[in-house]
């Protein structure tokens, strides 16, 4: 899904620490970009996974105690990156994600349209 015209949600470049979790295993990583329905991270060392696998993705917003926690599914794996679609995000994380998107998009109307689109997809 590398075609930007196929995307329903705007991705915002954002560089911060992230952690991928599956059961008792976890892998440190870096967030590359994020949207209301997904994220792209750098491929963690020793990560074993494939398209369709489910994980928890924690995103640590640097310089704050705020983090975003999402239940995600692998949508694509590239040479040095993993793309995820978001299956679930709790209310607190959704609020932080909305604020992050609002600050980085700079277009509240676009954000509102994407939120309504996300609700329609449920």
Cα 111 from Cα 107, distance rounded (Å): 6
- Residue 94 main-chain phi, psi, to 5 deg: -60, -40
Whether the CB-CB separation of 11 and 75 falls below 8 Å is answered with no
The tens-digit pLDDT sequence of the chain (122 residues) is 444 434 467 888 889 999 999 999 999 999 999 998 899 999 999 998 999 999 999 999 877 788 999 999 999 999 999 999 999 999 999 888 888 877 776 656 655 565 555 555 55
Which range of residues forms the domain containing residue 63?
A: 9-121
Instruction: Please tell me the pTM assigned to this model.
Output: 0.81
Number of independent structural domains in the chain: 1
Paired tokens of 19:
């952690």
**Within a domain: 4:** no
Helix (H, G, I), strand (E, B) or coil at 69: strand
CATH number reported for the structural domain that contains residue 33 in this entry: 2.40.10.220
Cα 110 from Cα 58, distance rounded (Å): 25
């Amino acid at each position: 899904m590398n075609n930007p015209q196929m995307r329903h949600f705007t991705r915002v470049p954002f560089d911060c620490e992230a952690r991928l979790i599956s059961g008792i295993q976890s892998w440190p990583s870096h967030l590359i970009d994020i949207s209301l329905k997904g994220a792209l991270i750098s491929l963690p060392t020793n990560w074993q996974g494939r398209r369709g696998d489910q994980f928890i993705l924690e995103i640590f917003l640097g310089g704050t105690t705020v983090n975003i926690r999402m239940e995600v599914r692998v949508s694509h794996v590239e040479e040095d990156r993993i793309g995820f679609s978001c299956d679930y995000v709790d209310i607190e994380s959704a609020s932080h994600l909305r604020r992050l998107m609002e600050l980085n998009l700079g277009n509240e109307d676009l954000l509102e349209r994407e939120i309504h689109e996300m609700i329609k997809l449920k």
